Amino acid sequence: MVIHNFNNDNFQLLCDKLGKKDKHLRSIIKTHGYPPLWSRAPSFTTLINIILEQQVSLASARAAFLKLQEKIGHITPEKILLLSDWELKTCYFSRQKIIYARHLATAIVNKELVFDELNILPDEAIKTQLKKIKGIGDWTVDVYLMMSLNRCNCFPTGDIALIKSIKEVKDLPAETTKEEILQIAEAWKPYRTVAAFLLWHAYIIKRNIKF
């Protein structure tokens, strides 16, 4: 039976299932233990946080998110739309991310995007809906699917840390392409998200990253 969503009850079992198929993933578990089940609420606030994480360090994104929370408290579309460009810049938003946050907030206020309806759709339908919004691409949607909806079969090749980790763990040449990596990840279907969590876990521990 294929599991489509992971949770606290089955996550480690799925890690073990992958470990039996792939010696490199098994080695991560043996060396570092199981990864955390990283989880976020399936909400507007989470999508703003993921937008802030685009192409910057987790520490930088966290600083911007906390600054925004400090300024407006609970983050809502309505509050975002009331902020000026200058106010968002003081929360460390770049010019592009100001545009993206406003587009997302407007879509929700106008009911073009309704989370209760969105979150029950299949993966591809969620991707289609979210990618209509300026600034939301494959990486942002994949992270949302993986960490907010616990969907099992996502693999964001646009994630630099993930790509570095798979090259390190499998001792791949630096010039290995994303297409070749996706081919490797085929063997992890339908649990590529769980494989990604294991690879992120190895990357974070190796670098002693705190967040």
- Res 2 pLDDT > 80: no
End-to-end CA distance of the chain, in Å?
35
DSSP 155-181: --TT-HHHHHHHHHHTT--TT--HHHH
- Res 161 pLDDT > 80: yes
Identify the pLDDT of residue 3: 82
In CATH terms, 44-147 corresponds, of 1.10.3720.10, 1.20.140.10, 1.20.58.1910, 1.10.340.30, to: 1.10.340.30
Rounded Cα distance, 20 and 9, in Å = 19
Rounded Cα distance, 37 and 197, in Å = 8
* Radius of gyration from C-alpha coordinates of the chain: 18
Measured from the Cβ of residue 98, the count of other Cβ atoms closer than 10 Å reads 20
- Res 77 pLDDT > 70: yes
Identify the pLDDT of residue 209: 84
Three-class SS state of 151:
strand
Query: Burial level of 162, CB count in 10 A (0-12/13-18/19+)?
Result: buried
Mean pLDDT in residue range 122-145: 97
- pLDDT tens digits, 67-76: 999 999 999 9
Q: Is the Cβ–Cβ distance between 166 and 22 less than 8 Å?
A: no
Rounded Cα distance, 174 and 171, in Å = 9
- Res 27 pLDDT > 70: yes
Query: Is 11-38+154-207 in CATH node 1.10.1670.40?
Result: yes
Identify the pLDDT of residue 134: 97
Identify the pLDDT of residue 211: 65
- pLDDT tens digits, 100-132: 999 999 999 999 999 999 999 999 999 999 999
Identify the pLDDT of residue 210: 78
- Res 50 pLDDT > 80: yes
- Res 1 pLDDT > 90: no
Provide the residue ranges of all domains of the chain, joining segments of one domain with +: 11-38+154-207, 44-147
Phi then psi for residue 119, to 5 deg, are -70, -15
Rounded Cα distance, 117 and 87, in Å = 32
Residue 98 pLDDT grade (very low, low, confident, very high; cuts 50, 70, 90): very high
